[in-house]
Amino acid sequence: MNNIVERFEKINSNIQKLNSKKKVNIIAVSKTFSIDKIKPLIDYGHNHFGENKVQEAAGKWTSVKRLNPDIKLHMVGKLQSNKAKNAADLFDYIHSLDNQKLADIFSKYEKNSSKKLKYFIQVNIGNEIQKSGIPINELDAFFNYCSKERHLNILGLMVIPPNDEKTRKYFEISRDLNLSLGLKDLSMGMSSDYQVAAKHKSTYLRIGSGILGPRA
């Protein structure tokens, strides 16, 4: 069995042992990896993959998705407004919705297209200057804008907590914010902390090196 598939199965097994009542989706974050590297996971039947750059993703996935229509592609990186339409053409999920301009672009796109995307609002959960995301104190208003005024299908929140000993606390805050908005899905957890995230009700785990190995 391929090493990538073995690592995926081990992670999946670890998640199953947590006895989560909700389905937990594993997004294999394939940024910087070639399709040849990813192919064993596609052949295995895994469908959820994540990328953080629109142009790189288009070059890798356009033809692959055409041949594999069950593949779901997740945009997990910061998204510039001038790339939003191209992202909407290619991706199925947007995990980095964090400003009204993006919401406006996606709303207009969906009015003129039969394609409907699924969205996560990115929250700057640790209030870090260097990270994207809506501030917590603006979340309620932004959620209402996206869901009620722009009619976007908001699945839940997406967070990247500070890399420190308080990760568990940030996961608790994120879970509670998600529940307060009545949202059922939560994009939270990466290779180093996915088990903790799953215990805190994450339903989409973004795992890269833990599955695909170290990046070059």
The number of distinct structural domains making up the chain is 1
Q: What is the pLDDT at residue 214? A: 87
For the segment 97-106, the average pLDDT, to the nearest whole number, is 98
Query: How many Å apart are CA 175 and CA 70, to the nearest integer?
Result: 29
**Global pTM?**
0.96
For the segment 8-17, the average pLDDT, to the nearest whole number, is 93
Q: Please determine, for residue 163, whether its predicted confidence score (pLDDT) is greater than 90.
A: no
Counting residues of the chain whose pLDDT is more than 90, the rounded percentage is: 88
**Share in percent of the chain as helix, strand, coil (round to 5):** 45, 20, 35
CATH number at residue 82: 3.20.20.10
Query: How many Å apart are CA 208 and CA 31, to the nearest integer?
Result: 8
Counting residues of the chain whose pLDDT is more than 70, the rounded percentage is: 98
Query: How many Å apart are CA 14 and CA 188, to the nearest integer?
Result: 16
8: tokens are: 């995926």
Q: What is the pLDDT at residue 1? A: 59
Query: How many Å apart are CA 153 and CA 33, to the nearest integer?
Result: 30
Count H helices and E strands in the chain, helices first.
9, 8
Q: What is the pLDDT at residue 2? A: 81
In this structure, the strands spanning 25-29 and 48-51 are parallel
Q: What is the pLDDT at residue 165? A: 75
Q: Please determine, for residue 79, whether its predicted confidence score (pLDDT) is greater than 80.
A: yes
Convert the pLDDT of each residue in 127-146 to its tens digit.
888 889 999 999 999 999 99
* Range with the poorest average pLDDT among 19-23, 24-28, 129-133: 19-23
Domain range for residue 100?
3-15+24-212
